[in-house]
Chains A and B, each alone.
Chain A
C-alpha cells in the first residue's frame, strides 16, 4: 500500500502547492506541527462502495451500504486506512452500489468528492481524492452525500494518521506516543513518559510495566441500525435528512458492526494484554444517538476530542473517566492503562483463589443500547476487555 515515490515528481509538486495554499488556514485553526509538511511518501488506497445485506445478531438481515478494499469482502465499518503524517494520500473510489454516493475525510483538507454515479462496470469510472495527511490522530471517512443517511446506513470508517516523530521523551526515543512530539500537549507527553516507569521522583509510580508500543491500539466505531428505514430506502424511498432523523428508531446498536457476544469475541474489538501494557482506543460514533461508553476494571484517559470539523484536539487536561460522552460524530482517543484493577485490597493481600484472566465489560450506559430488537440484553453496544496476566516489564 505504501511506497517511496522517486519518479512522480509532478504529482508531488502539485500536492505541495495545494498544501502550501491551505497552510495559513490550518495554522489559524490549530497548532500546526512541523511534521504536517509533505514528506513525498505516498499512501494509496482503492476503495469500492457496494450494496450489502447485513446479518444481525438475531439472524435477521437488513440492506445497507458498505466500503471494501476493491475486490475484497465489504465490511461495516469500512477498512481502517492507516497513513503517516505528511503522506500524500490517494484514494480511488468506485461506486458499485445502485445509488449515487460520495466520499470524504472529515477534518482533512481537499479530501472530499460528491455525487459519484453508479459504476458502468468498465473499470474506468473511479474518482480520486488526493491530499496530504496532517495532524496525527483519528478521523472519520464517510459518504458525506445525503447526510446523515448514507453514513448511518454503513458508509463510514476510520482514517488513522500516525506521527512521523511520535515520541514523548524527545531524543531518547524510548517512549513511543501516537501523537507528534512537536504539538502533543505537555500532559500527553507526561502520561506517555510515565508508562513503564516503576518509580518517578523516587516514589512508587502508577504505571510500571512497558511503555506504550506503536500499534498497540484498538478502534471502536459505534453505530445504530433502524431496520425499517434500511428496508424502506433499499425499496426505493428517498426520505429527506430531516425525515430520516425524525423517524430514526434504531433497534440494533453496534460496535465495529457487531453486537453483544459477537463484539466480545472479536479479537480486533476486545482489548487484551497483561498488566503494564497500555493500549490506545480510538472511539468514534458514526450514528445519531448519544452514547455513554462505560468501562469496568480501569478508567481511561481522554487524550483527544474531535472538534466540529472532525479534527482531533489534543487535550491539555487528561480527564480520567469510566464513562465518556460520545455524541454523534464525536471521536475520542482514550488510553486504557492496563493497570492492576486499582480497588483490590492492598498488599500483602494476594489474589490467589480468583485467577487470571480478569474479564471486564465495556458497554454503553444508556442501556437502551444494550438491547437488540426490543430485548435480548446485553446483545447491544458492548464488548469485553481482558487482563491476561500480572505485570510484565519486558
Chain B
C-alpha cells in the first residue's frame, strides 16, 4: 500500500515550534511615547462552581489595583481609537504571552510564541488600534489550555467622538463622511451596554500543569467535556440576577450588546427583541468605498438564532428598547455532534424600565 509520508522536517525546529518555544524579555522594538498604559500580571486562584466544588483558574491581574487577584474573566481594558497603547506584562508561574485578539500589530507585539517569543519575565506590548470595536485579549502560550483556564478578558476600543443624541451619547464607532449604514443610526449610538462573554468549563482540565501536553505527551486535550456554563464568569444558575450579567436601561433608549464566545462549543444566541448586527470582529458594518468597507448592518429578528464562532465577536444594537425584561439566551452545543450539552444554557438579562 502507498504511504503518504510527512514532509521532511528539522527536529530542532520542531522542538522550538511546539515543545520549547523561544522565551525572551526584549525591549519593545521601535518604541514611542505612550498615551495609554496598563499593567498585567499572571495570577491563579480558586473559583466556586455551581455545584459547590472549587476549581483553579488562571488570569491576568492588574497589579496597580489591590483586590483584583481573582479576575475571571480578566478585567476589561478600554482604550480610545488612535491611542498609542503600552501594556507592561510580567508573567509569573512560567512563560506566558498576551495576544490582543483582533488587534493587528507587528509580530513582536502579537503575543505568539512560534512567530515571535513568549515572555519570560517582562515585556511591554505596543500597538495603536485604528478601529473602534470589540476585541479580546488572552494568553497565547499553550493556548488550548491557558484560554480554558480563564486567561482572557474583553478589550474595547472606543471611538473618539460622542453622539449628539444626549439620550444615547456613546458611539460604537465614529461615523465617517460617506458612511452608509441603512436601517440604523450611523455610529450605533447607545445609552447602555451589555458585554457578555460566554464560556464553558471542563473541570478535568483545571488540574493540568502549565505546560501540559506540550512535548508530545497525551494529556487528553482532545477530550473536552464541559460541565459548567457561564457568562462573564457567572454560572448559569445566577446569570439572570447577577449584576455582571444584568444590564439596566431606561426604556426608549438604545442598548448595545457585545457578544463574545470564549467557549469550545458551538454557541447559539437568541434575543426576544429585534436587533441589528452592527459590528463583527471589530469592524463596523457600513459601506464606505474610500475607506474600503463593503457591508450593511443586518437585522436580527427577535428569536432568530445567531451562531457566534469560537472567539468571534458580534455587536447587536437595539434602538428605542421598549419597557420590559429581555433574556439573552446562549445555548452551548458540542463542536462535533452539534448536540446541546447537558445544562448547556446560560441567560443574561436586559431590564428596561
Contact = CB atoms under 8 A, between A and B. Distances in A.
A352 B31 CA distance: 10
Interface stretch (A6-14, A24-32, A33-41, A353-361): A353-361
A180 interface: no
Interface string B208-234: 000011111111111110000000000
B3 A376 contact: no
A287 to B, nearest CB: 9
A290 B294 contact: no
Interface string B158-177: 00000000000000000000
B273 interface: no
A299 B310 contact: no
Contacts of B291: 206
A297 B312 contact: no
Interface in B84-127: 84, 99-108, 110, 112, 114-116, 126-127
Contacts, number: 266
B138 to A, nearest CB: 10
A184 interface: no
Contact of B311 (A301, A323, A374): A323
Of the listed residues B14, B106, B215, the one surrounded by the most CB atoms of chain A closer than 10 A to its CB is B106
B60 interface: no
Of the listed residues A52, A57, A354, the one surrounded by the most CB atoms of chain B closer than 10 A to its CB is A354
B280 to A, nearest CB: 5
Interface stretch (B44-52, B140-148, B251-259, B316-324): B140-148
B67 interface: no
A322 B220 contact: no
B125 to A, nearest CB: 11
B250 interface: no
Question: Dominant SS at the A interface?
Answer: loop
Given A368-B264, A368-B335, A296 B30 contact: no
A66 interface: yes
A315 B338 CA distance: 26
A299 B3 contact: no
Contacts of B110: 296-297, 360
Nearest to A296: B110
Interface string A50-63: 11111111110101
Of the listed residues B7, B19, B221, the one surrounded by the most CB atoms of chain A closer than 10 A to its CB is B221
A261 interface: yes
Contacts of A296: 99, 104, 110, 112, 115
A207 B216 contact: no
A377 B145 contact: yes
B82 to A, nearest CB: 8
Interface stretch (B187-195, B237-245, B281-289, B345-353): B281-289
A245 B216 CA distance: 27
Nearest to B3: A53
Question: Dominant SS at the B interface?
Answer: loop
Interface residues of B, number: 85
A374 B221 contact: yes
Contacts of B282: 299, 322
B127 to A, nearest CB: 5
Q: How large is the interface on A (under 10, 10 to 19, 20 to 34, 35 or more residues)?
A: 35 or more
Interface string A258-298: 10111011100000000000000000000011101010111
A341 interface: yes
B298 interface: yes
Interface in B280-336: 280-283, 285, 287, 289-296, 298, 307, 309-312, 335-336
Interface string A334-352: 0001000111111001111
B336 A250 contact: yes
Contacts of A376: 18-19, 213-216
Contact of B222 (A342, A345, A358, A374): A374
Contact of A321 (B101, B178, B214, B281): B281
A342 B213 contact: no
A118 to B, nearest CB: 14
B1 A368 contact: no
A75 B282 CA distance: 38
Contact of A374 (B115, B213, B335, B337): B213
Contacts of B292: 191, 194, 205-207, 337
A90 interface: no
Given A320-B283, A322-B101, A374-B219, A361 B5 contact: no
B36 interface: no
B128 A201 contact: no
A301 B219 CA distance: 37
B269 interface: no
A378 interface: yes
Contacts of A341: 104-106
Contact of B312 (A250, A292, A342, A364): A292
A321 to B, nearest CB: 5
14 contacts: A55-B5, A73-B4, A190-B289, A205-B290, A261-B17, A261-B114, A298-B104, A323-B311, A325-B307, A365-B311, A371-B222, A376-B18, A376-B216, A378-B144
Interface of A: 50-59, 61, 63, 66, 73-76, 187, 190-191, 194, 200-201, 203-207, 224, 245-246, 248-251, 257-258, 260-262, 264-266, 288-290, 292, 294, 296-299, 301, 316-327, 337, 341-346, 349-354, 358-361, 364-368, 370-371, 373-379, 384
Interface of B: 1-7, 9, 13-14, 17-19, 29-30, 32, 82, 84, 99-108, 110, 112, 114-116, 126-131, 142-145, 147-148, 178, 212-224, 264, 266, 280-283, 285, 287, 289-296, 298, 307, 309-312, 335-338
Closest 6 A/B residue pairs (Cβ)? A375-B213, A206-B292, A374-B218, A365-B311, A367-B144, A353-B29
Given A206-B291, A297-B107, A351-B30, 10 more contacts: A250-B222, A290-B336, A325-B309, A325-B312, A342-B104, A342-B130, A367-B143, A375-B217, A375-B219, A377-B144
